[in-house]
Structure 1
Amino acid sequence: MKVAAIQMVSGISIERNLAQAHELLDQARHAGAELAVLPEYFCFMGERDADKLLIAETPGLGTVQDFLADTARELKLWIVGGTVPLATDDPQHAANASLVYDPAGRCVARYDKIHLFRFHDGRQGYDEAAVLKAGDQPVAFTLTDRSGVAWRVGLSVCYDLRFPELYRQLAADVLLVPAAFTHVTGQAHWEVLLRARAIENQAYVIASAQGGVHENGRHTWGQSMVVDPWGVVLAQQATGPGVVIAEIDRARLLDVRQRLPALQHRRL
């Protein structure tokens, strides 16, 4: 099955972001992809973190969710809408939700980011929990490709990548990591963490990133990539908008797991 990791440099205009996302998804479709994964905050990177609350949609209703459903139906693609801010029962906090749409345009899975990023370097700090409500449930879904092969696909978002226990619980064949890694942390840790998650779970990893300098001044790392179960980077893009295409193969997955049955050797 061909898959696509979509890289963007999203700005403050939802309309422009959705237009670019559609163009990139169409490129993925023309390249033969069956599954396309958009990056975290593909629809909006506001001037302030609290701006997420202004555009948070009611679950099941809204411009961004309609776009994902309509585009999946139009292009006959499985689309993972990186993340979308969704309203919660607390008006001061939104969910950072990854939404999965099948080729019929149905929303078949929702994962709310569990691990919220926080840092302080002694001079300045950032805390996602100031405006986001953390999820508490790992989520995986089954994707049956055009050849009839069923894949267990595990969902995660950005900072989740630093918590390997989540991926163990997902027990998936394919792990998705839509992200907006900062340039500093991405340069140091992005690729090594992605390859580690692929190797230790003997799974494919599709990592779709924000990659560039945004209108709000934020600088994201990029390097969207697809990694195979042996930790080999199959394809990647450094910075700027683009589509990373790779083939994932059930025979390759099973071969790695049979030759080195580490998942069967777990004791803890």
Structure 2
Amino acid sequence: MKNELNVVGIQADLFWENPKKNLVFFENEIAKLSSETDLVVLPEMFTTGFTMSPKNIAESLDGASVKWMKTIAKKYDLAITGSLIIKHKNNYHNRLLFVHPSGEIETYDKRHSFTLAGENKVYTSGKEKLIVDFKGWKICPLICYDLRFPVWARNTEDYDLLIYMANWPVARVKAWDTLLKARAIENMSYVIGVNRTGSDANNYKYSGNSLIIDYLGNEISNLPKNQVGIISAFINREKQDNIREKLGFLNDRDSFSIDF
């Protein structure tokens, strides 16, 4: 069990539908990180950008990008997580992979498809929440549009870190900033939100605004708008546990079930 985790998010201007170029970029960035890095978070669809044309770029769980993630995790002795387009049988998925330093993989399929862009017509939504046990930390990783749905993120599992990876456009970035802090405050949990920058082939613009936030809603790492780079912080579970015990807000949370 590790009391402190060094978490890093990489904010990138993604190459459109070009996994090879994106993987080269991310490996170069990861190679620069401190050897103390425990966890690296990449944006949503980090190999392609948020495309609704998966046919020629979707991969299997034995594909090149997944093998790359396993290689990076083992080589640098860290966990790495990001979402990419996975094809399983006849379905496409916006699938998050959490790859442990051992190469073990855990997966989560995006629950809330972004209907405004037609994601629900292309990708099959998931129905199961993932809670990862990593170095004694309970981590809940979610994807982009999931951020707008607090019931799905509600901390009924007593997780310690909530992750959001995104392609969140600049037109609605105020909601991104506000909702990340709301999720941190209401769940009394560290939150890391990793977004992309630049423009995609559909001319949607992204400003990044990646953040690491503590359990009281305070920003502890951020990046200037439109900047490629990293956010990083040492997050401390003992401090979080002490505040949770002192304030007791999670003890008063509602009980509920979700119907699909």
Alignment TM-score, normalising by the size of structure 2: 0.90
Identity, in percent, stands at 28
Q: Which amino acid aligns with 1:221?
A: S
Deviation at 1:215, TM superposition (A): 4.9
Q: Which residue of 2 aligns with 1:69?
A: 70
* 1:55 aligned counterpart, secondary structure: coil
Q: Which residue of 2 aligns with 1:117?
A: 114
Deviation at 1:2, TM superposition (A): 1.0
Structure 1 residues 57 and 267: alpha-carbon distance in aligned structure 2, compared to 1, 3 A threshold: closer
Q: Which amino acid aligns with 2:108?
A: Y
Answering whether residue 211 of structure 2 is matched by residue 209 of structure 1, we say no
- Taking only aligned residues, the RMSD between alpha carbons, in angstroms, comes to 1.6
Deviation at 1:216, TM superposition (A): 4.8
Answering whether residue 104 of structure 2 is matched by residue 102 of structure 1, we say no
Answering whether residue 57 of structure 2 is matched by residue 55 of structure 1, we say yes
- Partners in 2 of 1:70 and 1:235 — Cα distance? 27
Structure 2: runs of 5 or more not aligned: 256-260
Structure 1 residues 216 and 127: alpha-carbon distance in aligned structure 2, compared to 1, 3 A threshold: closer
Q: Which residue of 1 aligns with 2:13?
A: 9
Deviation at 1:102, TM superposition (A): 1.0
- Partners in 2 of 1:32 and 1:212 — Cα distance? 29
Count residues with an aligned counterpart. Answer: 248
Matching residue within 208, 223, 240 for 1:253 = 240
Deviation at 1:266, TM superposition (A): 2.2
Contact 1:4 1:243 in 2 (8 A): yes
Contact 1:154 1:171 in 2 (8 A): no
Q: Which residue of 2 aligns with 1:43?
A: 47
Deviation at 1:170, TM superposition (A): 4.8
Cα deviation, 1:33-61, whole Å, max 9, x if unaligned, reads: 21111110111127x521x23211122x0
Alignment map for 1:1-268 (pairs within 5 Å):
1-12=5-16, 13-28=18-33, 30=34, 32-45=36-49, 49-50=52-53, 52-59=54-61, 61-80=62-81, 82-90=82-90, 93-107=91-105, 109-119=106-116, 126-144=117-135, 150-168=136-154, 169-186=156-173, 188-237=174-223, 238-268=225-255
Deviation at 1:9, TM superposition (A): 1.2
Deviation at 1:259, TM superposition (A): 2.1
Structure 1: runs of 5 or more not aligned: 120-125, 145-149
- Runs of 4 or more off by more than 6 Å in structure 1? none
Q: Which amino acid aligns with 2:132?
A: F
Q: Which amino acid aligns with 1:89?
A: K
